[in-house]
Amino acid sequence: MRGGSVHVVNLHKSYGDVAAVRGISVDVAAGEFFSLLGPSGCGKTTTLRMIAGFEAPTEGEIRIDGEDVARVPANDRPVNTVFQNYALFPFMSVADNVAFGLRYRKLSKAEAKAKVGEALEMVRMEGYAKRKPGQLSGGQQQRVALARAIVLGPRVLLLDEPLGALDAKLRKTLQIELKALQESLGITFIYVTHDQEEALTMSDRLAVMAGGLIEQVGTPEDVYDAPATAYVADFLGSANILNVEVVGSSSEGRVSFRLGPDVLSCRGQGAAGSDMRLVVRPERLLLEPTDEEAGTIDGTVTRTVYQGPTTDVLVRLASGDELVVRRPSERAGQHAPGDKVTVHCRPDAMLLLPPGALTSA
């Protein structure tokens, strides 16, 4: 199978006076696993449905391998869709569910049977061909839905939160399986999810959406480590986001800023006297000295939150702000509410962003 490239150009979708998608443009490379990530109502599913052909755009282009398909019927596009509810026919066997779309292809019975067997083997369901969907677990039904989609040989596979109805442990297993399947098939996957872990685990690249717009596109590493806005930093994973005042900058590209009575510095831009937002991930803060260069902030532990392998230590600063420091749980027990601590912040762990960046446009 061959993946197709997808180019969305200035795409809009309005329902009456409500703008669901407000002029987004994004390029998805052939064979890429690309995720649309965002909260409910951000426009990600509407975007997917327009690529699938289930919704007509108000304005804009949808190009698959260079051809604009924005006005092409859904059944004539080289795409297929896997839904969250799987949409399997309960009265049909697994094999008949997978073969359903092949009815409209000019194939002999032998050819159709061979394609169904190949698709079921790809998703490791070849031993369940005669069962009905009601005899399968949720994860098995999801695999059947995938087989039914890939048996038609689409160039682009669209997945609308297909793991959303599964339990947490099964979701983790199927995340790995889905990524491995996509790599082996070479099909372009466009995956819609509100789950940050899913997007980080599986995506080659992802787009973070909010309010019908794309906030940032990049690799999981780029978007997590270098968020373009405080909104992205806050939505993707967890982050400390504090208001700070710039007090100066150096010729080496370093900016000094005030957080309460403390002055720290990191790489960035900002004029003296300007207000900025400091973004720092909880796992990149330390409660003990480091051999690397680091700024320090004194504070008081207010409480600890146990999360299994990690524990969050909440530290109240003299400024009144609160920092979350994430530590391995075996090292967090030494801190208790009321303890005085010093938080160590490496310059490369901190990022300064404009003050208006927390709320999406």
In this prediction, residue 359 carries a pLDDT of 43
Element housing 19 (H / E): strand 18-28
Ordered domains of the chain (ranges, CATH): 6-230 (3.40.50.300), 235-357 (2.40.50.100)
Provide Rg for the chain, Cα atoms. 24
In this prediction, residue 360 carries a pLDDT of 41
Return d(Cα 105, Cα 84) in angstroms, integer.
Answer: 26
Return d(Cα 154, Cα 64) in angstroms, integer.
Answer: 12
C-alpha dihedral, 51 to 53 to 55 to 59, nearest 10°: 60
In this prediction, residue 332 carries a pLDDT of 67
C-alpha dihedral, 285 to 286 to 289 to 293, nearest 10°: -20
In this prediction, residue 293 carries a pLDDT of 82
pLDDT in tens, 208-239: 999 999 999 999 999 999 999 889 998 988 89
HSE-up (13 A, CA, CB side) for residue 194 = 10
In this prediction, residue 106 carries a pLDDT of 80
pTM of the model: 0.88
Q: What three-state secondary structure class fits 289?
A: coil
- Write out the two tokens for 234: 């806050």
Return d(Cα 200, Cα 194) in angstroms, integer.
Answer: 11
Return d(Cα 361, Cα 338) in angstroms, integer.
Answer: 40
**Regions in the chain scoring below 50 on pLDDT:** 357-361
